[in-house]
A and B are shown apart, each in its own frame.
Chain A
């Protein structure tokens, strides 16, 4: 079956602009996760959804970052007023249930000029 898909695969934006990144999880997976991977910091957890609710937002680095999930499926990560330090690969993962194996998408590479 289809894996986790993310779009766009690459995004170049100017400092100060808003961006939206999309994640389509594996069908039937109730848990969804966003991570960020950068050269200096490695792979960092951002937020976790169970269904449409987000019981763990502890990894969001600032209030410029937000995410939503609708219909228990697609999720969007929004970064407002982007900064150069937001440049990274943003990875999405889904799992059948909380604490089951996570399956990762290929990521969106975000470059803020």
Chain B
């Protein structure tokens, strides 16, 4: 199981601005998932990326998987207060009977009106 590094740890910006958050590892990801978590709730899956260089869009959110599959980014265009939350990247555990997810520590995002 590898270590997932997320940056920045905290980000506070004004409504309407653009932002990018990152997830990196020293090892190759088999696949990578992005989640969003709001206070008092569990994480909710946003997207899964599998292929190096893959780009997926979800409304104003754009997810990119690095060509070497060691990094991923999440870009939000024209951020809105509803985008506030904890953004987590995760990789599925593997090997033998293993399952479950290994998460990064997340980016705490605050969008101020």
Contacts and interface: CB of A to CB of B under 8 A. Distances in A.
Nearest to A59: B100
Interface string B56-89: 0000000000000000000000000000000010
Given A42-B104, A42-B106, A45-B102, A55 B97 contact: yes
Interface of A: 4, 31, 33, 35, 42-45, 47-48, 50, 55-56, 58-59, 91, 93, 98-99, 101-107
Interface in B89-113: 92-93, 96-106
A104 B43 contact: yes
Contact of B93 (A31, A45, A50, A104): A45
Contacts of B98: 48, 55-56, 58
Given A42-B106, A43-B88, A33 B44 contact: no
Contacts of B92: 99
Contacts of A33: 99-101
A56 B93 contact: yes
A56 B44 contact: no
